[in-house]
Structure formats: C-alpha cells, structure tokens
A = this chain, B = another copy of it.
Amino acid sequence: MTSPSLASRGVTSGPAAFPVVNDFSIQVATVNGSGSQTANLVLLRSLFQSGVPVSGKNLFPSNIAGLPTWFTIRACRHGYVGRKKGTDILVAMNPETAHEDVLGLDPGAVVVYDEPLRLNALRDDLVFYAVPFDKLVAPVCPDAKLRKLVRNMIYDGVLAKLLGIELEEVDRALDRQLAKKPKALALNQAALRAGFDYAAANLEKRDPFVAERMQATSGRILVDGNAAAAIGAMMAGVTVVTWYPITPSSSLCETLATYMRRYRMDPETGKATFAVVQAEDELSALGMALGAGWMGARSMTATSGPGISLMAEFTGLGYYAEVPAVIFDVQRVGPSTGLPTRTAQGDILSTAFLSHGDTRHPMLLPSSPREIYEMAIAAFDLAERLQTPVFVMSDLDLGMNTWMSEPFPYPDAPMDRGKRLTPETLAALGEWGRYRDVDGDGIPYRTVAGDGLPPYFCRGSGHNDRAQYSERPGDYVANIDRIDRKFQHARTLVPPPVVERVEGARVGVIGYGTSHWAIVESRDQLREEAGLDTSYLRLRAFPFGPELEAFVAAHDRVYVVEQNRDGQMASLVTLDLDAALAPRVRRVLHYDGLPVDARTITDEILRQEAAAHQEARR
C-alpha cells in the first residue's frame, strides 16, 4: 500500500491539469466479512455503465472474516486496466489500517474516512472528506444487526457525488447486484442516497478527480477469469470435472458446476451430460481426470501451486502413457502455502518440467478473460490432439479479479478430438500400434474402451510401440524420442505469440499472462516519457513457436517481464533460443504478491537500458 514518486500519478502525467477526468484509482480499505463486496462492485459497475474503462482488484487476507481487505477500482480513460501504483482516492473504513493507509498516500490524494477516526489530523497535504457513517446509517437501517452490511453503501453515495457519477447509474448497478433480494436492495438504496445527500450538503469538492460519461465500454462485459475459464470449459464440451478446493482456483470449478447445471442438463431427460466430482485431494483429482481421459472423455481439473506439486507423479504418468487431461493452474504466491490470496506467475518452471525423468508439458498462457475462455477450449483440443496433460496457467489476478472483456464468441470450429483410430484408419494402416508414429508428427492413434476397436494396455512403465511391456533399450529410446517429437510438433499447434513489431525499435519486451496489462501501459510510458520505442511479443504458449527466436534476433535486448523471483519464463526462453541470442535476454521481475504495475516495469527497463548504454560506452 505504498506509493511512488509524484511523477507516476495520474494527477501529474502531462501538465497537472484540473480536473483529472476518468483517470484515478479508488482504494476501499475495509475488513473482510464486512459485506463491502456489494458496495465495491456497485461502484465499479456504475463507472463501467458510464462508459469508463475500469478494473477491480480485491486484495484480501487468507482468512474468512475480520482482517484488513483492500478493494481497488481503477478508472482510466486510456483503457489501462493493469494495477496502478499508488492510490488517488482512499476510502478508509478500517480503523486498524487507516493510519498506515493514509501515511502511504502521495500528496494530493483524497481520503474519504469515517469521521471518528480523525484521519485529517495525520497529514496536511491530502484532501480529506469526513463522513459520519454511523450517524448516517442509523436512520436508514433501523435493524442494528444489518447496519454493518448496509453502512458501506454510504461511501458509494459519497463518491458518486464527489466524482460526479450519475446517481441513476449507481442505482442501476445496485439493482443488478441485489435484484433478487428486494429487502436488502431497499436498505442499500436508502444508504446510497444518504451518502449522496450528505456529500451534497456537507462536502465541498476540493480535489481534481472527476468521472465523466464516455463510450469506451459499450458491448463489453464484466467478468473474472475463473468464470471465463469455466464458460470456456463448458463450451469445450468438458464432461468430467474433478477438483479439490483451493484458493484461488475453487471458484473456477464452482462456477463451472453452476453453469453446467443450467446449460448442460439434457433437455429431454433432465439428466446431466457431465459429472463434477469433488475429490479427496489433488492427487485423486488428477487421477480421476486421467482415468476419464483414458476412457475418451474430455476431463479437467483446476488447482493452484500446492496442488500442482501434488500432481507431479500423475502428470508424469499422463505424459508417458499419453493420456489427455486439462489442468488449470490459477497461480498464487509460493513457495509452499506462501501467500494464498496473492498473485504470481511462479509455477512456470516447475510445471514445465513437472515430474521426474525426462518430461515437459504444454502450457497455455492466458492474459484476459476472453483469452482464457478461448484457451480453455483450445486446451481440450490440444490435450486430445497431443494425448497429454495440458496446463492452462492462469493466476489469482486474472482468476479472481474483475475485468472488462469482449463478450465470449461462440466457438465455430468443430472440436478436435485428436487421432482416434477408426475402422477406416485401421484398414488403411493395416496394422495398428498404439504408440506407433505413422506420419511423422510423433502422435500415434489411440483407441478407447467401448469403441469396438483393438484394445491396448496403458501403462507408465516401459513399452514398445504396440504398448507391450518392454525393457529393451531400443524400444525405450524410440518411444521417448517419439514423445519428444510430439512435443516439438506441439510448437505448431499451440496458440502463437502476439507480436507487435515497432519500426526501428531496438528493444523488445516479452510478456505473458496478466503481466500484459502493465506492459501495455509501460510501453506507452517508455515511449512518452523516455522516447523509447519497444516491440512486444506476448507469449501465449509453451513450447514456443519460431516467432520467438525471430523476435529476439531482431532486437538488441529483450526484456522478459514476469511475476516471479527467478525469471522462470526467461529461463525457458533462454533454453529455447539459439544460444547465440541468449545474451539479449534480460529480466524484469516483480514478485511481492500484488499484480505488477506499469511504473515498476518502466523504471526497471530504463534502469537496465541506462546500464546497457553505459556498458556499451565503456
């Protein structure tokens, strides 16, 4: 909750102009379990409905109730939706953190606070607005027990007034949120109005931040990445979902179950075209998914770091016995239990090489809800085409925070169920071998129980191309080399990177996943503030395609931006490149559990650029 130099704040980017329109971040500091979620989402949605690009990030503790929580809403007319370093408007509801929160603000920031906290005494370079929450809530909510919940809506009213958000939009947003609970709706409406009226009557606008209607969100939806992944998996036709609860992945399967109950019940019989099973742990969750994949079903599980570690042995089985399954890893901060409610891109290396022996696994790298929706669909196709576990590497920021998104497009391409033996193929091949590469892509044909075609014995121990047990050195080498050929072939099947080459740029940025949003903003900062043009390659999958090497070759230095300590993707990139290009790879790392912000990237790239030039001059 610290914030950087003034230079980095919306207020002063460009000539310090009043008013600052649609470019601010609001941080609401509360305790969890206090019901502030409704107020925060209503505020977010009001801005969104007003056409202002927004993003919402919830910073919550790893417990259930009573600890400090911060919800951040960023409104940005430029469309930047990454985390912004520093807060422009603080809503200080939590006595426990209020002092520290206020002391961490940059000069000029705004503080809306609960009057008895007397925060205005702390500093004189901020704009303070005191609000007597308890006094205001009492009349609108006679039932004292409910006041805790309703109280928060007051700050929505205050902010609506201060920022100039149209009250009808707030009302509409509130309506959406509580449509099904008319009693709660009425109470909250009253609280909203109480806040608004109080501000109108008592608070004189003394800060520059203003919300104005724009047209930048029309057609968009608001959604979190876990829901997007769930919708994608459902549209991919998943039939077997096995999972074990773990933050931040639980809501992926829970949302999926909810959607499936709605959209995947057989219309005629009312029966389910899917099974969702809560397993006893992650080993079992993946074991079930593999059992189902072996039988020919589209199966998946979702987990986070500790679960990935527990899945190591089974992942190796899937790799070597060549069984499809889709695994969503909604990454959180490790190692071990780490920070379960904070975000990271920290499982890249251990997932790429998950399990003993020579193994490597395809990973998809979504950066937005729309993309994880599409990649969820792609992942099932890839798992069946490649006959191997495929990982979708999401993270807490994507999975649990609220993002604007294009609506999800209907998947027009038919499902790719991979190389399933058919009577025709069998006739054409003459003789079938489960693990025989008949066309050079390393991918053999498979049969599944019940399809009436020849059976085979699936195993994690050594086997020849007819799936017979074998300890022969030659059989082993032929098989493991073929599996590697398959992995190399995967380079041509996975989503290619998105490349933006800028004419004349000598510096490239490589990113992936949620780091994307801060990179987009940082590249503008680099260009606008330092005149540094950068090209950009956004990785969307491992193994990499040829675009990566071409990109690195075309630039003097490439900065791999990621959210871990050890430069995990940079390591994979380095190992993949022609070694002569290795010196061009640089690392920009951020790993404190908060989503990376543009300023951090900009500062670090400029620092390294300066060093590189100094080096060159020497």
Contact = CB atoms under 8 A, between A and B. Distances in A.
Interface string A310-342: 101100110111000000000101111111111
B339 A461 contact: yes
A474 to B, nearest CB: 7
A314 B565 CA distance: 20
Q: Number of copies of this chain in the oligomer?
A: 2
A359 interface: yes
Contacts of A574: 574-575, 579, 582
Given A313-B309, A333-B462, A357 B344 contact: yes
A491 to B, nearest CB: 15
Contacts of A320: 334-336, 338
Residue of A331, A342, A566 contacting most chain B CB atoms (<10 Å): A566
B356 A592 contact: no
Given A309-B313, A481-B565, A593 B476 contact: yes
A251 interface: no
Contact of A336 (B336, B461, B473): B461
Contact of A579 (B337, B341, B355, B585): B585
A316 B333 contact: no
A372 to B, nearest CB: 19
A580 interface: yes
A349 B574 CA distance: 15
B335 A316 contact: yes
Residue of A309, A564, A583 contacting most chain B CB atoms (<10 Å): A309
B480 A309 contact: no
Nearest to A335: B357
A306 interface: yes
A350 interface: yes
Contacts of A462: 333, 338-339
Contact of A359 (B312, B350, B360): B350
Contacts of A333: 357, 462, 476
Interface residues of A, number: 69
Given A319-B336, A461-B340, A575 B571 contact: yes
A470 to B, nearest CB: 9
B592 A338 contact: no
Contacts of A471: 61-62, 339, 341-342, 593
A408 interface: no
A123 interface: no
Contacts of A591: 358, 476-477, 480
Given A305-B356, A309-B316, A579-B582, A473 B338 contact: no
A342 B574 CA distance: 31
Contact of A460 (B313, B338, B481, B593): B338
A306 B593 CA distance: 32
Contacts of A2: 474
Contacts of A481: 565
Interface string A569-589: 001001100011011110000
A566 B565 CA distance: 25
B335 A477 contact: no
Contacts of A461: 62, 336-340
A188 B349 CA distance: 56
Nearest to A481: B565
A153 interface: no
A259 interface: no
Contacts of A172: none
14 contacts: A62-B461, A309-B356, A312-B312, A320-B334, A320-B335, A334-B357, A334-B359, A335-B358, A338-B461, A338-B462, A339-B476, A347-B356, A347-B357, A350-B359
Q: What 8 A-B pairs come out closest when comparing CB atoms?
A: A334-B357, A336-B460, A305-B356, A473-B592, A335-B357, A309-B312, A579-B582, A309-B313
Given A310-B313, A321-B336, 4 more contacts: A333-B476, A334-B357, A350-B356, A473-B592
